[in-house]
């Protein structure tokens, strides 16, 4: 399968490396690479340069078990972490409120979502304007019968908003500036009996593998969809694995046009799509937000922004030094039983040469 190359829009590679993480959960610090500030370092102080140290780095949030409120201002000694059931020593800890963010927004434009696009366009534009800062970057992908890159990496809310104006339902042909993501349903792969309709899992896989995997630092995907996949080449397991290997957190916005299903005489159960979104989000350290009359889309975007700006980071050197490609399960515990850490389930211990 062919791939596309993301243009170098950063001012310098070193600026990106300041985010302090490498691929597959391993933070590769080498001479000239500056990790993010630790607990003991003032925010204004330049971090100490470390040489040839591999750390597992986990970004996560902490929420109250009742009510789900975000819990900020916890310290290193409030946490413990284990890998495959074995306690690990926390070597780096920080509260990440301003660390550069790499963000991908994936919007469902299939028939069941077409009537919601105007609302999505306006809310996403406001979100980009408020969340994207000069050191952040974002890209925009639409998915339905195909996956399309509407805007490649940029730190310009203006360009992202312009790309959102090109957002169209599957029944219309948008004017695209970014170019297509490879159509994984072409070629020798059979599609009969599995018609293309909503390539959700393909979009997650391609965004993770083609866009985020080579990036460093805090990375997140935001999905706006009813969660119904039809015709993807990749399945949900492969999509989740790609996001985990890219160290990407998935935030899912469960947005359903029930009128569309009622108009077509279709009984919408709403179970399968929501379950799939929950699985993708929870296994990558994210969360599912449901849009309703009492919980509109713009409010959901505000809540996602709060999560992105109230993350913690833990770094540790695994007691298992093998880089054998296996999946390592991680558990972060908070010393207050009323709190829970919202973190990804683990990481793939890939060798440095394979990253």
Q: How far is it, in rounded angstroms, from Cα 321 to Cα 102? A: 29
Strands, DSSP E only, in 156-255?
A: 218-225, 248-254
Strands, DSSP E only, in the chain?
A: 26-29, 53-64, 79-83, 86-88, 90-96, 101-108, 137-143, 147-154, 218-225, 248-254, 288-290, 311-316, 327-334, 339-342, 346-348
Q: Which domains, ranges and CATH numbers included, belong to the chain?
A: 13-95+313-354 (no CATH), 101-308 (3.40.50.410)
Q: What is the pTM of this model?
A: 0.79
**Residue 264: band (very low, low, confident or very high) from pLDDT cuts 50, 70, 90:** low
Whether the pLDDT of residue 103 is over 90: the answer is yes
Q: How far is it, in rounded angstroms, from Cα 83 to Cα 56? A: 10
Q: What are the beta bridge partners of residue 137?
A: 102
**Residue 51: band (very low, low, confident or very high) from pLDDT cuts 50, 70, 90:** very low
DSSP notation for 56-85: EEEEEEEEETTT--B-----GGGEEEEETT
Segment 72-96, tens digit of pLDDT: 999 999 999 999 999 999 999 999 8
- Residue 54 has which token pair? 């591999």
């Amino acid at each position: 399968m062919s791939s596309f190359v993301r243009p170098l829009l950063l001012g310098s590679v070193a600026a990106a490396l300041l985010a302090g993480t490498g691929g597959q959960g391993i933070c590769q610090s080498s001479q000239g690479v500056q990790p993010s500030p630790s607990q003991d370092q003032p925010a204004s102080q330049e971090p100490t340069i470390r040489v040839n140290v591999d750390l597992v780095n986990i970004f996560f949030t902490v929420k109250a078990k009742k009510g789900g409120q975000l819990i900020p201002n916890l310290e290193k000694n409030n946490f413990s972490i284990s890998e495959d059931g074995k306690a690990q020593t926390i070597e780096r800890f920080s509260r990440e409120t301003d660390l550069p963010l790499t963000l991908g927004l994936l919007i469902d434009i299939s028939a069941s979502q077409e009537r919601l696009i105007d609302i999505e366009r306006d809310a996403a534009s406001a979100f980009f304007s408020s969340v994207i800062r000069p050191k952040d970057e974002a890209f925009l992908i639409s998915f339905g019968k195909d996956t399309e890159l509407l805007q490649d990496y940029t730190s310009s809310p203006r360009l992202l908003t312009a790309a959102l104006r090109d957002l169209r339902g599957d029944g219309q042909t948008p004017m695209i500036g970014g170019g297509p993501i490879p159509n994984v349903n072409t070629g020798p792969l059979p599609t009969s009996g599995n018609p293309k309709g909503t390539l959700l899992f393909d979009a997650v896989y391609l965004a993770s593998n083609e866009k985020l995997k080579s990036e460093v630092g805090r990375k997140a995907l935001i999905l706006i969809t009813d969660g119904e996949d039809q015709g993807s080449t990749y399945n949900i397991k492969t999509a989740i694995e790609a996001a985990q290997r890219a160290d990407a957190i998935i935030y899912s916005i469960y947005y359903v046009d029930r009128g569309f299903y009622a108009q077509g005489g279709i009984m919408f159960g709403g179970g399968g799509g929501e379950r799939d979104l929950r699985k993708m989000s929870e296994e990558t350290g994210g969360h599912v937000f449901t849009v309703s009359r009492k919980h509109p889309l713009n409010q959901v975007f505000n809540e996602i922004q709060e999560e992105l700006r109230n993350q913690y980071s833990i770094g540790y050197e695994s007691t298992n030094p093998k880089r054998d490609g296996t999946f390592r399960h991680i558990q972060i515990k908070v010393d207050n039983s009323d709190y829970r850490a919202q973190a990804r389930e683990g990481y793939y211990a890939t060798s440095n040469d394979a990253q």
